[in-house]
Amino acid sequence: MIKPHGSDSLNALFIASDTDRNQALIDALNLPTLRINSAAAANLVMLGAGYFNPLKGFMNLSDAMGVCESLYTSDGLFWPVPVINLVNQKPSFEPGSRIALLDPNVNGHPVLAIMDVTAIERVSDEQLRVMSGEIFGTNDSSHPGVATFNTLGNYLISGEVQVLSLSYFQADFPDTFRTAAQIRSEIEQRGWQKVVAFQTRNPMHRAHEELCHMAMERLGADGLVVHMLLGKLKQGDIPASVRDDCIRVMVDRYFPENSVMVTGYGFDMLYAGPREAILHAIFRQNMGATHLIVGRDHAGVGDYYGAFEAQEIFSQRVPEGALDIEIFSADHTAFSKKLGRVVMMNEVDGHTADDFVLLSGTKVREMLSNGIAPPEEFSRPEVAKVLMDYYQIEGT
C-alpha cells in the first residue's frame, strides 16, 4: 500500500485507548482552557484522524510563513497550507503551559484536545496579508476563505497536541465519517492496490459520476473512494447530509457492487483552489489512495482561479518525489447531445457550446426550488429527487 506523506507509518494524534483518553479528559479538568475557532477545530480533527500526517500539532510562525512562501516547513516537510491556531486576544497562559482546547462546534464546548504550548507569537497585519495572499491567491475580502481567515486573529499558538475527540462528525455522520486509518484498513481488506479518490463538496451529478468511471477505467483502478467534505461551507452550499444521500443513491444504482467506498472527512472548506488541491492530495495519500481526480476549477470559488490552475500547480510547484500520490487530470465533463453520452469536452471535435447540456449552479438551484427536475442528461432522477425534496423543505 502507498506510504503516508512524510513518514513510513500513519501518525494519527487521536488517543485511541478509551482508558488513556478518559484519563486525559480527567487531567484536562485542571488545565487552563481555550475555546478555539472552527478553523482550528477542523485542523485538530484532521490531525486526530491522521489526514495531516506527519504533523504533530499546530505550526509556529516560522513554519507557517515558510509553508506560505516556499511550500516547506523549517525542517524540510513539503506542505501547502499552514496548519495553525490563531486567536484574537493574547492568552493569559505562557509558553510551556499545558492547556485544554475546547470545541466551538459542539454544545457545552467539550475538550477537543490537549496542547503543549511551545510558543505564543503575535502575527503582524502584514504577515497575515502575506499568508492570505499566498494561501488564497488574493486578499479580496469577498473571497469566502479570505473572509474567514481575516477573522481568526493575530496571536498564533503553536505546539504538539493530543486529540481527545473528533468533534461532531462521528455522531452526525456515523455511516460516512472515517479516519485515514479506517479507510486504509478497508482498502487493505478489499485487496485494492490502485485506488482513485474523488473529492467533493457538492452532490454528484452525471458529469461527476462519469468522470469517476473514466478515471477508474483509464487507470485500471481496483476501486473508488468518494470522499466528501463534512465540515463548514459557504452560505448557499448544499448541507453534508443531503449530499451524502445524493451520493449514496447514485453509487447504489450506477456503480458496480463493491467498487466504491462512500466516506467523508471533518474539515471546513478553504476554497483555496490550487493550494487546497495539493492539501487534498496529501490527505488522500495518507488515507491510502494512489490517485486523486483533479478536475476543472478544483476547490475553487467564483472567478478567483484559472480553470486548470489546480492541475498546473502540481507540475509547477510540487517537486519530483514530494508526493507519492498521482493526479488524474480531467477537463470539464458534460453530456454531448451529438454523441449521446457524457464526455470530456476537450476530447471531442466538432462541438459548440450548444451541443452540450450545460447548466449553471444558479439555474439548477432555481429549477430544484420550483420542483422541476434537471434533465436526465445532467442529473440522475434519483439524485434530482433528493435535491428537490431538500429545496422544497428549505423554501417552506
72/322 Cα distance (integer angstroms): 10
**Active-site pick, 201, 275, 284, 296:** 201
Which of 167, 188, 214 lies at the terminal end of a domain, its last residue?
167
Read off the CATH number of the domain in which 137 is found: 3.10.400.10
Is there a single domain that holds both residue 161 and residue 78?
yes
Closest CA to 154 of 61, 88, 68, 63: 88
Residue pLDDT, tens place only, 326-356: 999 999 999 999 999 999 999 999 999 999 9
Is there a single domain that holds both residue 350 and residue 331?
yes
Is there a single domain that holds both residue 203 and residue 332?
yes
The pLDDT of residue 171: 95
The number of residues making up the chain comes to: 396
Is there a single domain that holds both residue 121 and residue 258?
no
> What's the mean pLDDT when you consider all of the chain?
96
Is there a single domain that holds both residue 210 and residue 156?
no
Residue pLDDT, tens place only, 203-222: 999 999 999 999 999 999 99
Contacts of 44 (CB under 8 A, 6+ apart): 36, 101, 112, 113, 161, 163, 167
Is there a single domain that holds both residue 216 and residue 345?
yes
Is there a single domain that holds both residue 186 and residue 140?
no
**pLDDT, mean of residues 363-387:** 92
270/317 Cα distance (integer angstroms): 19
Specify the 3-state DSSP secondary structure of 12: coil
Is there a single domain that holds both residue 40 and residue 160?
yes
13/21 Cα distance (integer angstroms): 11
The model's confidence at residue 237, banded by pLDDT at 50, 70 and 90, is confident
The pLDDT of residue 395: 60
Q: Which residue do the cell numbers 500513519 mark?
A: 10
Which of 146, 167, 188 lies at the terminal end of a domain, its last residue?
167
The model's confidence at residue 178, banded by pLDDT at 50, 70 and 90, is very high
Identify the domain containing residue 207 by its residue range: 175-265+273-394
Which of 107, 132, 167 lies at the terminal end of a domain, its last residue?
167
Angle at 295 between CA 225 and CA 83, to 5 degrees: 70
**What would the grid cell of residue 242 be?**
443531503
Active-site annotation holds for 202? yes
The pLDDT of residue 234: 83
Closest CA to 382 of 261, 256, 246, 263: 246
Specify the 3-state DSSP secondary structure of 120: strand
Q: Is residue 10 part of a domain?
A: no
Contacts of 295 (CB under 8 A, 6+ apart): 211, 329, 330, 331, 332, 333
Q: Are 40 and 85 in contact (CB under 8 A)?
A: yes
115/101 Cα distance (integer angstroms): 7
209/223 Cα distance (integer angstroms): 14
**Active-site pick, 11, 150, 154, 202:** 202
Is there a single domain that holds both residue 193 and residue 44?
no
- What are the φ and ψ backbone dihedral angles of 214, each rounded to 5 degrees? -60, -45
- Could you write out the three-class secondary structure of 281-319? HHHHHHCCCCEEEECCCCCCCCCCCCCCHHHHHHHHCCC
Read off the CATH number of the domain in which 364 is found: 3.40.50.620
Question: What is the C-alpha radius of gyration for the chain, rounded to an integer number of angstroms?
Answer: 21
Q: How many domains, in total, are found in the chain? A: 2
Active-site annotation holds for 380? no
Residue pLDDT, tens place only, 165-177: 999 999 999 999 9
Is there a single domain that holds both residue 85 and residue 206?
no
Q: Are 182 and 53 in contact (CB under 8 A)?
A: no
Is there a single domain that holds both residue 220 and residue 245?
yes
267/232 Cα distance (integer angstroms): 7
